[in-house]
Amino acid sequence: MTQQISRSIRQNFREQMVIGDQNQPGTFHQIDWQRAVALRRMAIAKTNAPKYLLAPEVSALLWYLDDLRQLAYFSTLWNTGARPNEALALSRDSFELSEIQPFV
């Protein structure tokens, strides 16, 4: 039931410039894509920086993951900057969630 509701919410917002917040289910953010893309173009034009995904793009990709294991894995990669092999080596004990600010 929850997954069906989640899918219908996603479908309703797919055509709009709105994405869900990966950290707060049920929270949605309006994205100014033109501004975000313009800032990325400026950053790439001024330096030899590699092409990259914007934070809203990564959040949108994470939003569409249905498998909780994949979501946990890719969220860990994104939020910690870990390499894939480093993230795969983590265990439950590697995460400290009881603190005010959780950490790995």
pLDDT tens-digit readout, 5-55: 455 544 444 444 445 555 555 555 566 778 878 887 887 787 777 777 777
Q: Does 78 map to a domain?
A: yes
The answer to whether position 99 is within a domain reads no
Question: How many CB atoms within 10 Å of residue 85?
Answer: 7
In a domain, 104, yes or no: no
Structural domain that includes position 27: 2-94
Domain count, the chain: 1
Residue 102: inside a domain, yes or no?
Answer: no
Q: Flag whether 76 is in a domain.
A: yes
Q: Are strands 18-21 and 24-30 parallel, antiparallel or unpaired?
A: antiparallel
pTM: predicted TM-score of the whole model, two decimal places: 0.55
The beta-strand segments (E) located in 17-97 are 18-21, 24-30
Q: How many CB atoms lie within 10 A of CB 63?
A: 17
